Amino acid sequence: MRVVSNSEQESASRHAMKGFAIGIAQWGSVGLFASGLLYAFAPWYKKTQTVNKFYIVMCFGLGGGAYKSDRYMVNFERRGRAQTLDEETKKRYELLYGNAVEAQKALETPSAA
């Protein structure tokens, strides 16, 4: 596990909360739709108390929010790892082959020999 700064932690938590909000909206909608279908076609569901119906829809929303939050967090970590790998590869390349910017400047400036 790598050491992260406070700003990186805050960025990761904001990204995860964004995923949670999207997931709860998506799966809450699915729960409402399923509840509507059950209300229309299942007589036993009509007899169910409103509190229990709300609980069913809430379970859809919270489960979907947790799932989507996890997916967003995993993607955030992967993107961070890819960026770190790219930076390290660039450093190794510059060590082996030199800095391209310095080489370009050397070609552009005429030597005073």
Instruction: Give the model confidence (pLDDT) of 16-45 as tens digits.
Output: 999 999 999 999 999 999 999 999 999 999
pLDDT in tens, 66-83: 999 999 999 998 888 888
Q: How far apart are CA 86 and CA 50, in angstroms?
A: 54
Query: Could you tell me if residue 2 is inside a domain?
Result: no
Task: Look up the domain containing 46 and give its range.
Answer: 9-108
Comparing CA positions, the residue from 22, 25, 38, 109 lying closest to residue 73 is 22
Query: Could you tell me if residue 3 is inside a domain?
Result: no
Query: Could you tell me if residue 63 is inside a domain?
Result: yes
CA dihedral 94, 99, 103, 104 (to 10 degrees): 120
Query: Could you tell me if residue 28 is inside a domain?
Result: yes
Q: Indicate the range of 38-47, 59-68, 89-98 predicted with least confidence.
A: 89-98
As separate numbers, helices (DSSP H) first and strands (DSSP E) second, the chain gives 4, 0
Query: Could you tell me if residue 4 is inside a domain?
Result: no
Instruction: Give the chain's domain count.
Output: 1
Query: Could you tell me if residue 113 is inside a domain?
Result: no
Q: Is the pTM of this model over 0.75?
A: no
Query: Could you tell me if residue 60 is inside a domain?
Result: yes
Query: Could you tell me if residue 84 is inside a domain?
Result: yes
